[in-house]
Structure formats: C-alpha cells, structure tokens
Structure 1
Amino acid sequence: MNWLDDRVGAVLTGAAVGDALGGATEGWTPEQIAERHGGRVTGIVPPYYDDWRTARPIAPYHKGDGHVTDDTLMTHALVDVYAKRRRHLDAFNVAEDLVPLMIGATRWVPELEADALILQRVFLAEKWIVARLHYGHVDPREAGVGNIVNCGATMYMAPVGLVNAGDPEGAYREAIDLAGAHQSSYGREAAGVFAAAVAASVVPGATARSVVDAAAALAHDGTAAAVAAVVGAVERAGAVGPDELGRVIRDAVAPYDTVGPEYRSPAMDARLPSRTKSIEELPAALGFVLAHDGDFSAAVLGAVNYGRDADSIATMAGAICGGLGGREVIPADWARDIAAASRIDLDAVGATMADVVRDVAAADAERARARVETLAALTAAQPSPAQPSAGRDLG
C-alpha cells in the first residue's frame, strides 16, 4: 500500500476508533469512569448505563460496545460530499450537499440500532445546520452565527485536512470557510486548526511536535492561547502517570473552556462567542498527542479516560496519530471490532477518500503550474516605452 492510501485510511480509521472508544466514557469524570469499569479503560467497553435506552431520555443512545457516534457519522457524510464534488469545498456545499445527506438518506446509526437519518442522531448544535440552511435559507457563509459555540464543526473536519495534505494553511482556510455554515467564533477557529493539524500529520517525516507547531502557528485568539497553555503544561510536567497527565491537561485548558467544571451542568456563559475562549477538545487532544509523542493507543486512551467530551477528544487525537503513524499503529482488533459493531466499512471509506485526495491534488498541481506561468509572464522584463525621436516637433 502506498503512503497516501495508508495515511488517508489511517486518519479516518483512527478517528472512528477514537470516537467509538470515547463514546462509552463521554460526559463522565475520570473517577466515575474508573469506578464504572473497574479501573482505567483499555479498550472497547459497554455503556455506562446498562439501561441506556431510558437512563437519559434526552440522549437515548447505545454508546459503548464499539459504536461510533455522530462524530463519525458526520465525518463520513463529509467524505461522501467530497466524493461527489471531487474538489475543494466551501460553505455552500454544506447547504447543497451535506444537509441533504443529513435529512434525505438513511444509514445505519449504531447508537440508535436502526436505519435512521443523521439528523435524528446529531446534537442540537448540528441540527442547527438543517434549521438554518434548509428551512431558514440563510446565507451559508453566515449560517453559523448564533449557534451555540462548541466542537460540533471541528469533530468532522479530518477530510478537509486530507484534501489539503501537506498544506496546513490551505486546510485551515478551507475549514474556516466550510465551518462558517455551522459555527462561529472559537468553534469555527478550532475547525480550521484541527484540519491544519491533520494536513500536517500525513507529511513524511512529521512528528507530534511538528503537528502541534503547525497548529499553533495558525491558531488565533483564545484557541492559540489554550493550545499554548496545554503544550506548556505538558512540557513542564514531563513524564507523569496517565491520571496525572489528564489533570495537567484539564487544569491548563480550564481557563479557556466556557463549559465549566461540571460537564453536564454548563456554566451560564457556556458556549457563547468570545475572542478569549476556546473549545476544550482540540487543545486537549493536541496535549495527549504531544505528551505521548504520537503514540496512537496511549494518546487515544488518555482522551478516553479524560472523560468530559471524550469521544470528540479521542476522535481528534486518533485522526492525528493515525496520520503520523499509518494503519500499523492502530490496534487491528479495535478497528475490526468497531467496524463490525458499527456496521461500517472503514477500508472502503478510506479508499474513497484517498481517490478524492488524488484527484484534488492533481487539480491543485495544474493550478499551481498555471499560476507559476502567469507570474513568470507578469514579472518578465518588458521593453521600455518608446521614446519620442529627438528631432520631432512636440509643439
């Protein structure tokens, strides 16, 4: 298998594996997770509640048991949009292509154990896309304004990083445009920075440090400050145990996180637009990736046992570590069992995305060639303007 196919497949498989493992622990504290599962989670585990259908009526989802969540459903839907268009995307493609997939085509939803619409599974912040674009006919470039600010757009931006493989700045710009239909403020910013991290991760020779540096170089405002705080805290902590590492990362990101200490009881100012705040998930994911030097299992399990929004943190960490290490770093039994439990063909999704990446790369290369020729013509030495002859009467 060539480098491109391996890395593209690893990013998407790594994201799905992280999502499925983290879904079982989402919303809980590290202490609650350890009590429920008899210690730290080390693989696929059952739901937190045995009576998952009725324990939380607002979210009657079968998390755990290897089931992917809405993070993966939305990621794969975006892959489908790229496969249809086979080019770079923008906010209008959310309205014209992604929303119709959310409301017009059923697929197996593992957490509902049924064929259903993506709309029926996603959180309210993602339902917003449908309300604003399909029913409100809002300009897609502005539709994210007014939504609660969260990680909803960031969680499915890995494909944007892949179509801009090796170009973090291009990935950032495309994700910022695309995510404008869904999010604003630091929710939109995180989407761009995550896509950039994925684009940086698949470059031959990339390291956890080079990925974090690429993300930090493009981040702005509170997102930049939160990433810097987490990176600094991880570096100062050095070699610490996994439980202590989770506390180090949480303490570092807490001043920038609007949700507050009680994940299921958000603060009054939670999820409001801000120049100084950040989503928690992306800085935390980068912290786990850096602390474990890109080790897939260690970074993902760190996110899983962190709790809170564990599925999205592990999704991001899994995507980046997959890009860094390729398929060989993802435990084969995790990938196999999660694909079976969730009824998804991870290999096929990766192959589809890799074909798109090749097509987009070829088009980008042709545009770059044409641009170089244009610049050469524009900057070529030109003859001086003709001067009037000395004997000509100008009077």
Structure 2
Amino acid sequence: MTTLSTPPTPGTPDSPAPPTAPALAAPTLADRIAGALTGAAVGDALGGPVEGYSPEQIVERHGGRVTGIVGPWHEDWRTARPLAPYHKGDGHITDDTLMTHALIRVYTTVRDHLDAYAIAEHLVPDLISTPRWIPELETEALPLQRIFLAEKWLVARVHYGHVDPREAGTGNIVNCGAAMYMAPVGLVNAAHPRAAYAEAIEVAGAHQSSYGREAAGVFAAAVAAACAPDATPATVVETCLGVAKDGTRAAIEAVCEVASRHRCTESALRGLRDAVAPFDTVGPHYRAPSLGARRPSRLHSIEELPIALGMLLIGAGDYRRTVLGSVNYGRDCDSIATMSGALAGALGGKAAVPAEWADRVAEASRLDLHAPARELTEVAYEMFARDRERRRAHESAFARLTGRPFQEVR
C-alpha cells in the first residue's frame, strides 16, 4: 500500500507558513455529520454552474478561477443548450444533493442499516410520489423530473420492471450516479469504514454495477474514515486504498501519488487529469464520451472520486482550498466538489464550511441545511445502539457454543 503524507502547509510555494493556531477540540459526531452534509451541498452548488467545462474554459468565462458562488454559464439558461431548462448557478444545488437528502429520508424512516430492498421500498417511492422544491427548475416538481437518466434507471428497473433490487443496477451506464449521494452511509457508520463500504455496496446495487458501484462503497468508506477522531486527509486516502478493488484502487493510487507532490491545485490540474485519464472511460471531451464509455470494467474507474481525494490531499483538508480546487478542475466538478466537500466537512466539522457560502446556498435553494444533519445524527446514535445489542447477543451465543466466556475464546 502506498503511504501518503499530508502536503505542506497551505499557501503559495514562496509564502511563509502561517503561525500555528491553538489546538481546537476535535469535532463531535454531530458536528462532523453537519460539516459533511453542509459541505457536500455547498460544494455541489459551487460546482454546478461550471460543470462540463475545462479549466481553460472556466478561466475564460469567469476572468480567472472561480473563488465562490457564481451565476449561470449562459445568461439565457432557460433555452441555452445543453443546459436548458436548468438554472445552474447562483447557489442552486443539483441532483447530487437532492439524492443525498432523499437517502437521508430513507434512513430516518428505516432507522437502521439499509439494503437494496430498502432502496426499492423507500427511495424509489420518494422520487416518484412527493413533489419537492427543485432549485434548478425554480418550481416544485417530483425529484424524478430533475434527476439524470442514470438515476431514472432506478425507477424504470425497480418500480416498472420489478427487477430484484440487488441486481437492478446491472445494465445501467457506469458513472458516479450512486457514489455522489453515499455520504449518509459513511456517516451512520462513522469511524467504521469497512462497515460503510459493505453497506454502500449493498445499497448501490439497485442503481449501479461495476466500478460505479465500487466507487459508491469506497466513497462511503472515505466519509466514515474522515469521521475518525484522529483522521487526516492521508488516513482517509490510505483507508480508501485498503478497501478499493481493481481499477478504482489503481486510479486512486495514481491520482493521489500526483497530488502528494503538490501544495496548490493550480499547478496540479493537468497532472491530476493525466493521472486519471487511463482509468476514465468518458475521455477528453466530457460532453461527447467515447463509444466505450460507461461500460462495466475491472480496469477502469469513475473520475470523480479519485480527483476528490486528490484535491483533499492538496488542500490539506482545508475546505475552501479542497472544494475550490475541485470546482476549477471542471468536467463533472459538481460531483467532485460534492464528494470532496463532504470529506473536508467531516474532517473539520460544520465550522470548516464558510458560513457565507452555506447561508447563500440555503437561501437560494430554499433548503434547510441543518435539519437533515440533526435527523441523521439521531439515526446514527440509534443504529450504534442496535449494533451494540446485536454484537453482545452474538458474543453471548458464541460463548455458549464454545462453553467458555467470550473473553477466553481464542
């Protein structure tokens, strides 16, 4: 396993290191959950308006790198292709956050670990039955009317096709569709990455297959690892390398090897793209993927997760640097910033996410960024208590089977 160190102190290569700040208390579970979910939503909103474009196009359009919330790419966004009719920008969240909050609602209903059947019984009906405010459409609508085709697949296969939920993801295009909303799985399994990985693999089976499903598991593990008391960007990446399989593991290793040599995202943009390109099936033209794109493979990986982890390393876990690096990378940068924002928020807690961004996103998207975190925190405590009871029951049964107290079993 490659050992990665945290990049040097943030700043430009020639700037002196900032003075050492006084030690702060580690964020609590509630604080990390709030930081992760708020950080994901803000990253999503920051990346939305420049999604699909290259770093060079972003600079040309905005007169430099994006440094905060910006407006739509096209002033005539209602009719401009390929974006119409979505109002991307001005603090609007996208389908990444819509799906994340939908999954949280499933957890608040079930109040226990989820499987593919829970997705069929609760998430799919949520998408097709209850109108909600859709910021990019500036109206109330069913979430189904906003989510991308890869997410509509859930409804087509599970609701209309009556496919076994555990296998419903087979045949869908392979992309980051499932991974982008798996942060809640990592949060309810906080500090237990392997449990998060296993649960996300099960949950994502209704939606994705191959390296898309694998990325969902690895991202959930990353979020769980970021919640550990002594977590750092390097330990998060090392955890991912410990659970990831096939092309996903190779892509993370390649990207993070490049990231570990940089201290600012500007110098790393080209190197990161070059590192992930052999694993990314979409190809150089994001809006015109190759014929071989998004097909099952053990050799390939989605682009978004490795890049998000690379940005977390370069930004040394700092939310602004991590997320703005993700946004200015371009391509599928709303999902990259959603993932990196969740990780940086989990590491630093709610205070890590700039309040001016969070407040503006909440207002513009008509979204309560606090309630989902409170609800998921309550569920996480309940789930931990249930897990402890189940573990103790297993220990007792095992001791009876062996005829010895559990402490003496070897």
TM-score (norm 1): 0.94
Q: Could you say which residue in structure 1 is the equivalent of 2:246?
A: 221
Corresponding position: 1:302 with 2:328? no
Q: Could you say which residue in structure 2 is the equivalent of 1:68?
A: 93
Corresponding position: 1:326 with 2:367? no
How do 1:254-269 residues align onto structure 2 when only pairs under 5 Å count?
254-269=277-292
Q: 1:59 to 1:88 in 2, by over 3 A?
A: farther
Q: Could you say which residue in structure 2 is the equivalent of 1:203?
A: 228
State the Cα distance separating 1:381 from its structure 2 match: 4.9
Q: Could you say which residue in structure 2 is the equivalent of 1:389?
A: none
State the Cα distance separating 1:377 from its structure 2 match: 2.4
- Give the aligned residue type for 2:158: L
Mark the runs of 5 or more structure 1 residues left unpaired by the alignment: 383-395
How do 1:167-186 residues align onto structure 2 when only pairs under 5 Å count?
167-186=192-211
State the Cα distance separating 1:374 from its structure 2 match: 2.1
State the Cα distance separating 1:301 from its structure 2 match: 0.2
2:65 to 34, 40, 44: 40
Matches of 1:29 and 1:289 in 2, distance apart? Answer: 20
State the Cα distance separating 1:367 from its structure 2 match: 1.1
Greater than 6 Å deviation, 4+ residue runs = none
State the Cα distance separating 1:203 from its structure 2 match: 1.1
Q: 1:315 to 1:58 in 2, by over 3 A?
A: closer
Q: Could you say which residue in structure 2 is the equivalent of 1:238?
A: 262
TM-score (norm 2): 0.91
2:74 to 49, 56, 60: 49
Matches of 2:34 and 2:354 in 1, distance apart? Answer: 14
Q: 8 Å contact 2:265–2:314 — kept in the other structure?
A: no
Aligned residues: 380
1:129 to 139, 145, 154: 154
Q: Could you say which residue in structure 2 is the equivalent of 1:11?
A: 36
Q: 8 Å contact 2:169–2:204 — kept in the other structure?
A: yes
Matches of 2:182 and 2:400 in 1, distance apart? Answer: 37
3-state SS, counterpart of residue 284 of structure 2: coil
Answer with 1 or 2: which has the greater Rg. Answer: 1
Q: Could you say which residue in structure 1 is the equivalent of 2:366?
A: 343
State the Cα distance separating 1:36 from its structure 2 match: 1.0
1:355 to 371, 378, 400: 378
3-state SS, counterpart of residue 108 of structure 1: strand
Q: Could you say which residue in structure 2 is the equivalent of 1:152?
A: 177
How do 1:279-294 residues align onto structure 2 when only pairs under 5 Å count?
279-294=302-317
Matches of 1:311 and 1:13 in 2, distance apart? Answer: 14
- Once the two structures are superposed, residues 132-156 of structure 1 have per-residue CA deviations (whole angstroms, 9 ceiling, x without a partner) of 0110000000000000000000000
User: Identity of aligned pairs, percent?
Assistant: 62
- Give the aligned residue type for 1:300: V
Q: Could you say which residue in structure 2 is the equivalent of 1:272?
A: 295
Corresponding position: 1:250 with 2:283? no
- Once the two structures are superposed, residues 316-355 of structure 1 have per-residue CA deviations (whole angstroms, 9 ceiling, x without a partner) of 0000011100011110000000000000111111101111
- Give the aligned residue type for 1:283: P
Matches of 2:65 and 2:335 in 1, distance apart? Answer: 18
- Once the two structures are superposed, residues 220-240 of structure 1 have per-residue CA deviations (whole angstroms, 9 ceiling, x without a partner) of 0000000010111122x333x
State the Cα distance separating 1:38 from its structure 2 match: 1.1
Matches of 2:404 and 2:97 in 1, distance apart? Answer: 54
3-state SS, counterpart of residue 374 of structure 1: helix
Matches of 1:242 and 1:317 in 2, distance apart? Answer: 13
3-state SS, counterpart of residue 44 of structure 1: coil
State the Cα distance separating 1:50 from its structure 2 match: 0.7
Q: Could you say which residue in structure 2 is the equivalent of 1:190?
A: 215
Mark the runs of 5 or more structure 2 residues left unpaired by the alignment: 1-24, 406-410
State the Cα distance separating 1:357 from its structure 2 match: 0.6
Q: 8 Å contact 2:262–2:268 — kept in the other structure?
A: no
Q: Could you say which residue in structure 1 is the equivalent of 2:135?
A: 110
RMSD: 1.3
Q: 8 Å contact 2:77–2:83 — kept in the other structure?
A: no
Matches of 1:109 and 1:323 in 2, distance apart? Answer: 26
**Structure holding more helix per residue:** 1
3-state SS, counterpart of residue 81 of structure 1: helix
State the Cα distance separating 1:375 from its structure 2 match: 2.3
Corresponding position: 1:374 with 2:397? yes
Matches of 1:379 and 1:316 in 2, distance apart? Answer: 45
Q: 8 Å contact 2:265–2:311 — kept in the other structure?
A: no
- Give the aligned residue type for 1:301: L
State the Cα distance separating 1:267 from its structure 2 match: 0.8
- Give the aligned residue type for 1:12: L
State the Cα distance separating 1:57 from its structure 2 match: 5.6
Matches of 2:401 and 2:347 in 1, distance apart? Answer: 40
Q: Could you say which residue in structure 2 is the equivalent of 1:390?
A: none
Matches of 1:265 and 1:218 in 2, distance apart? Answer: 32
